[in-house]
Amino acid sequence: MRLYLSSYRLGASAFRLKKLLNGGRRAAVIQNALDFIPSEARRAYETNIYDPKEELADWGIGAEELDLRDYFGQPHALKEALAGIDFVWAVGGNAFLLRRAMRQSGFDRIIGELLRKDALVYGGFSAGAVVATPSLDGIDIMDDPRQLVPGYDEGILWDGLGLVDFSIVPHYRSDHDEAEAAEKTVGFLEEASMPFQPLRDGEVIIVEGRNVTLLPVLPEAMRRSA
């Protein structure tokens, strides 16, 4: 199993992602965590501020968007769409909405099978990292679990994908508008005696087999030369 889990965007260790991909260059970007934002506003944000496909391209990774809504109730079609993909990258937004999309498309079952076969790398930042955990308990402090858009089931899913055995709290003590909520989430998880890993923006968790590594923020020169 190979995972690349970040607090914010690719973080400060994208050079390690390239190594993790082992030559793979084809990515599918999942942005369903942002489906609550009107499409026009999303396009403007991608054009003017941040496009995850362009960020991956800067590291030599070609990416296309994979909208899980196109595969709701069609897991076999989704499995075909993922054939030949080296890297799945799930962006931030609402973790509960993303989790619903993964369930309704069958992605949650398919990704486990592909990871066990070591067919690809799963990665995500913020909500995309959060859903890799066993449980979304406490994340409701940061994200509204009842936020819906047409086509999504109303039921709240509290279970994650279970790809790691601890919770992840992104934006911890970072210059981010969710930093205060992240602090409260850490307090909740401590009180509940749940294992967790807080991530500051820039930090990344890499999983290779049974090895779990927390990568701190490195100076730019070290990142580019590594």
Consecutive 10-residue averages of pLDDT for the chain (226 residues): 98 94 96 95 91 96 98 98 97 98 98 97 98 98 97 97 98 96 98 98 97 83 42
pLDDT confidence of residue 78: 98
61, 25 Cβ separation under 8 angstroms:
yes
pLDDT confidence of residue 226: 44
Q: Which of 30, 5, 9, 16 is nearest to 198 (CA)?
A: 5
pLDDT confidence of residue 195: 98
Kindly report the pTM of this predicted structure. Answer: 0.94
pLDDT confidence of residue 217: 82
CA distance 77 to 88: 16
Q: How far does Cα 21 stand from its chain's mean position?
A: 16
Instruction: Decide the pairing of beta strands 204-208 and 211-215.
Output: antiparallel
| Joined tokens for residue 68 | 């899980």
Largest Cα–Cα distance in the chain?
47
pLDDT confidence of residue 218: 64
